[in-house]
């Protein structure tokens, strides 16, 4: 079986998303591959039109650009988890740049995900706010739809700001572990 795919989307190393990804990895009970999206050299879509009529291809693919590999991992894994902070009510720019590269699949209607599940652990500094994760979730759901993946209700964590906040909150860390256990039970048993 392929490894569970964890896409860690914060550009900040060693922060709350990285810690959440490590908790998921330790709890899920299956091999995981974690990739830090901000370090994959993903170039942003320039709307060149290359992917029109070229199923699944992108003019920006090539040495140093990790977008294609990230899509391959996400579409072939039995389960993918996007772990991300909220930046201005959305995903960090590096993660959004990767998601925009899904355009190659939207353009041709190819759906390589074959219904496999994808979900997210989303976190932000604000202590509350029902719209805090709305932008990020909508974009992730639309990426899942475009790739032919099945979107699974994410975990939302409020009130995490400084790099060690999740590590210092046993309640929040427990919620991540419970979420990962439930994912394992539902999708990996
Ligand atoms: C550029 C930027 C924008 C941010 N925007 C928001 C925001 O809109 N709402 C919020 O609650 N937190 C916001 N934050 C705070 C981060 O979501 C928070 O610090 C998070 O814990 C960072 O995760 P990390 O430790 O994985 O990098 C922002 C942080 C940065 C650097």
pLDDT for residue 156: 98
Asked if the model's pLDDT at residue 166 lies above 90, the reply is yes
Query: What's the burial of 163, exposed, middle or buried (CB within 10 Å: 0-12/13-18/19+)?
Result: middle
Q: What is the mean pLDDT of the chain?
A: 97
- DSSP structure class, residue 87: B
pLDDT of res. 37: 98
> Given this model, what pLDDT does residue 1 score?
77
Q: Whose CA is nearest to atom 4 of ligand 1?
A: 87
Task: Please report which confidence band the pLDDT of residue 159 belongs to, taking 50, 70 and 90 as the band edges.
Answer: very high
Residue 139 has pLDDT above 90, yes or no: yes
Q: What are phi and psi of 35, to 5 degrees?
A: -125, 135
pLDDT in tens, 2-17: 999 999 999 999 999 9
Domain definitions of the chain by residue range? 4-187
Does the predicted TM-score (pTM) go above 0.85?
A: yes
Residue 1: HSE in the Cβ half-sphere, 13 Å Cα cutoff: 13
Residue 88, CA distances (Å) to 53, 92, 129 in order: 35, 8, 13
Pocket test for ligand 1, best of 13, 34, 86 (most atoms within 8 A of CB): 86
The answer to whether 60 and 100 are in contact (CB under 8 A) is no
Q: Tell me what pLDDT residue 6 has.
A: 98
Q: What is the pLDDT of residues 76-121, one digit of tens each?
A: 999 999 999 999 999 999 999 999 999 999 999 999 999 999 999 9
- Determine whether 153 is exposed, middle or buried from the number of CB atoms within 10 Å of its CB (0-12, 13-18, 19+): exposed
Closest CA to 140 of 16, 9, 17, 19: 9
CATH number of 4-187: 3.40.50.360
Ligand 1 mean position, distance from CA 184 (Å): 28
Mean pLDDT in residue range 47-59: 95
Q: Is 17 in the pocket of ligand 1 (CB under 6 A)?
A: yes
């Amino acid at each position: 079986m392929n490894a569970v795919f964890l896409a860690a989307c914060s550009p900040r190393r060693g922060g709350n998303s990285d810690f959440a990804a490590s908790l998921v990895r330790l709890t899920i009970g299956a091999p995981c591959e974690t990739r830090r999206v901000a370090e994959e050299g993903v170039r942003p879509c320039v709307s060149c039109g290359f992917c029109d009529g070229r199923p699944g291809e992108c003019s920006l693919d090539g040495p140093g650009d990790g977008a294609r590999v990230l899509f391959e991992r996400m579409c072939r894994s039995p389960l993918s988890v996007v772990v991300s902070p909220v930046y201005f009510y959305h995903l960090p720019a590096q993660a959004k740049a990767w998601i925009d590269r899904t355009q190659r699949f939207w353009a041709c209607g190819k759906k390589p995900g074959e219904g496999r599940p994808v979900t997210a652990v989303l976190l932000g500094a604000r202590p509350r706010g029902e719209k805090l994760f709305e932008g990020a979730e909508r974009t992730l759901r639309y990426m899942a739809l475009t790739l032919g993946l099945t979107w699974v209700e994410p975990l939302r964590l409020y009130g995490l700001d400084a790099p060690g906040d999740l590590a210092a909150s046993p309640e929040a860390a427990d919620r991540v572990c419970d979420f990962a256990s439930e994912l394992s039970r539902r999708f990996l048993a």
